Amino acid sequence: MKKNIENGKNGLCYMCGKLKSLNESFYMNFSPLFQVNHIHICKDCIFTYVRNEKDEVDIVKLRYILRLVDLPFLYDYWKAASKSKSESIGKYFSLLGLRQNKSKTYKDSRVEEGEEYFNLQNQYKLLEKQLSEFKNLLAEEQLEFKKKIDKFDRLLNDEKIQI
């Protein structure tokens, strides 16, 4: 059981250095590693930090933040949360507050279908697209594409995708 050493209504964000309302500006942190109940990086800083130049959430950056604050990256929950584009981060942190997730820490992360999986899927889609576009290729070149497709098929179907 952690004792809450936060006192007062405001907390310090370690990223922007501003004092902000604990309840409004910070997500909860259930990790037993810390004697505080909030992640001391404010919502605004997390929102800005995890975004890439296309204004999408960069999962590597999100996982970095989660590692810093000892919270898990849970692929299934992230997938559910990311359906809502602008609220995805907030949704994700609220899903971490669910009873089944509260005791989980970063070591409980499930990334089997994480960004590596997305990359494989994207590469696969790209290859499929190329294959359909290059129907007029020589038989030999078509065979090369077919080999690549088969390889990705095997990788995607392999339960033990190595990360």
β-pair partners for 38: 28
Helix axes 139-157, 115-133, angle to 10 degrees: 160
- The residue among 18 and 129 lying less far from Zn ion, judged by its C-beta, is 18
From the CB of 21, what's the least distance to Zn ion, in Å? 12
Choice between 6 and 116, CB closer to Zn ion: 6
Contact with Zn ion (CB under 5 A) among 22, 36, 45, 62: 45
Q: Of these, 2, 9, 16, 98, which contacts Zn ion (CB under 5 A)?
A: 16
Question: Candidates 39-47, 118-126, 129-137, 148-156 — which segment interacts with Zn ion by CB under 5 A?
Answer: 39-47
Nearest to 66 by CA among 35, 108, 36, 100: 108
Query: Reduced to 3 states, what is the DSSP secondary structure of residue 110?
Result: strand
3-state helix, strand, coil in the chain (%, to 5): 50, 5, 45
Considering beta carbons, is residue 36 or 74 the nearer one to Zn ion? 36
Of residues 89-108, those binding Zn ion (CB under 5 A): none
Q: Which of 15, 111, 120, 149 binds Zn ion (CB under 5 A)?
A: 15
> Which residue, 66 or 74, has its beta carbon nearer to Zn ion?
66
Closest distance to Zn ion from the beta carbon of 20 (Å) = 7
Write out the two tokens for 98.
Answer: 């669910």
Tokens 């800083």 sit on residue: 45
| Among residues 22, 42, 81, 96, the one that binds Zn ion under rule CB under 5 A | 42
Q: How many chain residues touch Zn ion (CB under 5 A)?
A: 5
Structure tokens belonging to residue 69: 């604050």
User: Cβ-count burial of 1 within 10 angstroms (0-12 exposed, 13-18 middle, 19+ buried)?
Assistant: exposed
Name the site residues for Zn ion (rule: CB under 5 A).
13, 15-16, 42, 45
